Each structure stands twice: as C-alpha cells, then as structure tokens.
Amino acid sequence: MELLTISKAAKKLGVHPNSLRNWEKRGLIKPVRLPGGQRRYSMDELNKLLQSGQLTNEQEAVVLYARVSTKKQADAGNLERQMERLRQYAKENGFIVRAEFADVASGLNQKRRGLANVLKLAEQGEYQKLIIEYPDRLARFGYGYIERHLRYCGVEIITIAEKEPEDAQSELVKDLLSIVTSFSARLYGARGGKKVRQGFRELIAGVEPDEKAAKEQKEND
C-alpha cells in the first residue's frame, strides 16, 4: 500500500497541508501514524475522500477582520459598521464565518491582538479566506509580507471595498508623521526630538480642520 507524506497528499488534492490537519480534526480523513508520530496518507483514503463529494459541497470558512485607528472612531460606530459590511459580504457569498476579530490601533502597530489571532488561526488551518474592507485595515506597511504568510497557510485575502473612506487619508498622514517623529527623536535625541514632535503635532492638528472643510464643501456642492 502506497503511503504519502502530508505535503504530497495535499498536493494530490490541490490543497494546503493545514487543510488535511483540519479535516482530520473533523473526522473527514484518517491518516496512518508512524511510530515517530508522522502522518501518512493512503491513496485509497484520498480517493475515498475525493469520491465522497464532501470537499466540493463544503462551504468555505472565513475570518472577518476590521480595524480603526482610534477609540473615537470606534465610539462613533465606525468599527461596528465596518464589521457589519464584512458580515453582509460573507452572507451574500455563502461563507461560513469561523471567527471575527477587530482592533482599535494604528496600522503601524504590529502587536495587535486581533491580527495575532488572524495569523494563529491561519497557521492552524482553521479557515480558507480572510475578508477585510481594504488592505490598510490589515497593515499600513508590510501588507505584502502578511499576504505571503497567509498564502503559505492556504488563506486568500479578500478586500471588499473599491476605495478607501474619506478619513483614511487622515490616518495615513498621522501614521507617516509618527514614523518621522520616531526617527527624529533618534537622530536629534530626546530634547531635539521633543521639539520636532511638537511641530508635527501642530501640523497634524492643521490637517483635520482642512479635511473637515473639504468634506463640508463637497456636501454643499
């Protein structure tokens, strides 16, 4: 009897190895265990799974992820409305929502609990698609690295929004200024960095009124 490694069995089925581990947990497939604990799959078992039709009839599991930068945005309902749009998309496309995660943090923050859970479930093979509103919700910079890691885990990212909301530009300006102030503090020391940061805070304060005025002008037009 020919036995395949998990990587070869996954390639045979056209899925990621994490999918086989997940199917094992759900009782869809039972591998042979070697004395060392390694999994091996018989061709008979793989063919039986293919012929059963369980894979083609199975709804895809998805995870929803939403993010806003500030508590003020969350309190205004932006986070919940964002998540509701993701839920609606999942429902319209017949996906099974495995989990929902959200963060109130900058897109530059790499220590987000929600994002960490998104990656953890992907590594465990718990879902096939991650649904977000647009790329910056997942990460301001380094999106490509996260996308690559998720793809390696067998997860596809779906962005549902065609364009960013109007307040996204303000978030981007703040994130960029945060980077500049961080580097200025390193270059000029604590005292010099403090002066630079103060100057940038004043610049940030000037950005928001300008955006508000532009929005009001657009509504009046």
CA 16, 133, 141, 68 dihedral sign is negative
106 among known catalytic residues: no
The boundaries of the domain holding residue 12 are: 3-57
Report how many domains make up the chain: 3
Instruction: Pull the structure tokens for residue 61.
Output: 């599991």
Lowest mean pLDDT among 24-28, 68-72, 154-158: 24-28
Instruction: Encode pLDDT of 151-187 as tens digits.
Output: 988 899 999 986 665 555 566 555 555 555 555 555 5
Instruction: Pull the structure tokens for residue 175.
Output: 């994130």
* Mean per-residue pLDDT of the chain: 79
144 and 65 inside one domain = yes
Lowest mean pLDDT among 14-18, 33-37, 126-130, 175-179: 175-179
Q: Give pLDDT, residue 63.
A: 97
Q: How confident is the model at residue 84 (pLDDT cuts 50, 70, 90)?
A: very high
Instruction: Pull the structure tokens for residue 20.
Output: 């086989």
Distance of CA 77 to the CA centre of its chain: 20
CA 75, 78, 79, 85 dihedral sign is positive
- Active-site position among 19, 42, 52, 69: 69
129 and 185 inside one domain = no
CATH number, residue 90: 3.40.50.1390
136 and 209 inside one domain = no
Q: Domain boundary residue among 57, 84, 101?
A: 57
Distance of CA 211 to the CA centre of its chain: 28
83 and 37 inside one domain = no
Alpha helix ranges (H) inside the chain = 6-13, 17-25, 43-52, 54-57, 71-75, 78-92, 113-123, 135-138, 143-152, 168-220
